[in-house]
Copies of this chain bind each other. A is one copy, B any other.
Amino acid sequence: MTEFSQIRAAVIGTGFIGTVHVQALRRLGVQVAGVLGSSEARGIERAAEIGVGYAYASLDALLADDSVDVVHVASPNHAHFPQVMALLDAGKHVICEKPLAMTSAESAQMVTKAKASGKICAVCYNIRFYPLNQQAHGMVAAGDLGRIHFVTGHYHQDWLAKLTDWNWRLQADKGGALRSVGDIGTHWVDLTSFVTGLKAKSVFADLTTFLPERQRPTGPVETFSSAQGATETVPIDTDDSSAIIIRYSGGAKGVMTTSQINVGRKNSLIWDVAGSTASAAWDSETPDHLFIGRRDGPNEVLMRDFTLMNPAGTRAATLPPGHVEGFADSFFNFFRAVYVDVCSGTRGADSTWATFEDGHYEMLFCDAVVKSSREQRWVDLGEH
């Protein structure tokens, strides 16, 4: 990792997830040149709080900083497209939070520009980088589960369960037409696609808004914090929950539910992949355990352990067995993999981080979900 200390990165977005990026970069030994906040004042305030030495006054100022090699885009969803396009024009490597864009038209342009740029362009599907998800990816690729049949699971949270819970993601113009699907469901879709190697051919979706009116605070609200003080009633039409049935190319099937109103589920992503000879399952709330299901022997629970894992799993692991790796470590593992490629200037043959193509696939998936739910029918990805 020697060269990491030679790389300079900047981070756009200073909220919860932007801070996670900054800390992971510093842990890796990458230089954090500065942050860009939602306003200059906000940027300065947050830079001080996070302990970053510099806050850019504007995107232009950041674009103009030639000392910056890599820019992390952790702004609200609607800003991803213009920011990333400008960053690529400015010759930066880009690591963009998901979803990549607000529409698949945008993400298609981003893919094209990324390809033309020759830069490292990654999307923050960090969950791939819990080492046991890498392990599962390697297992499927090696045929350890046989032919993949049935992929099930969910991503359930409860932080928007109350009428008074508020976040910018609730509003379609800020977060996109899809909320639970866009914000968390896409993690599940990316992760299962990564693990199984399968892409959805068509989807049937049913979106539900259980709370069609919510109380919006008049002041600003941090993600994962509670509204206080005066509120006003606003109509909400983004999805509190979803049910999505997936037909994969090749005959496999998938079923996912998402919810942000399942009381008691803080951040529960579960996937379960049933193959013809074995199955595997993983739960984000106990990420250092991988279930392996068998018919001709006992089921197994693999604790993350570099002495027992395949190359993909071992490469991503940081700590010794039993010393739990969590959410922050997934960013550390993810960025480490991306920055190795930043150092070499090109995506490695073994690299498993999500590309802009992967991010675009998610947008096509989301388009199909919206259309399917509106028209109550199966919709192909990319259908016009």
Write 28 A-B pairs (CB below 8 A) sorted by A numbering: A1-B50, A149-B210, A152-B154, A156-B274, A158-B293, A158-B295, A159-B320, A161-B295, A208-B253, A255-B255, A262-B274, A262-B279, A263-B276, A263-B277, A263-B293, A264-B279, A264-B294, A264-B295, A265-B279, A267-B320, A285-B288, A298-B300, A299-B301, A299-B302, A300-B301, A319-B328, A323-B327, A376-B378
With contact pairs A149-B210, A152-B154, A325-B326 given, residues A255 and B243 touching in the complex (Cβ less than 8 Å)? yes
Taken together as a complex, chains A and B put the C-alpha atoms of A5 and B23 apart, in Å, by 13
* A37: Cβ under 8 A from any B Cβ: no
Digitize A244-285: 1 where CB-to-B-CB distance is under 8 Å, 0 elsewhere.
Answer: 010000010101010101111111100010111111000011
B319 x A327 contact (CB < 8 A): yes
* A318: Cβ under 8 A from any B Cβ: yes
Chain A residues 1-34 with CB under 8 Å of chain B are: 1-2, 4-5, 16, 20, 23-24, 26-29
* A383: Cβ under 8 A from any B Cβ: no
Stretch at the interface among A56-64, A83-91, A303-311: A303-311
Q: For A146, give the chain B residue with the smallest CB separation.
A: B263
* A219: Cβ under 8 A from any B Cβ: no
Contacts of A301 in B (CB 8 A): 298-301
A2 x B298 contact (CB < 8 A): no
A325 x B323 contact (CB < 8 A): no
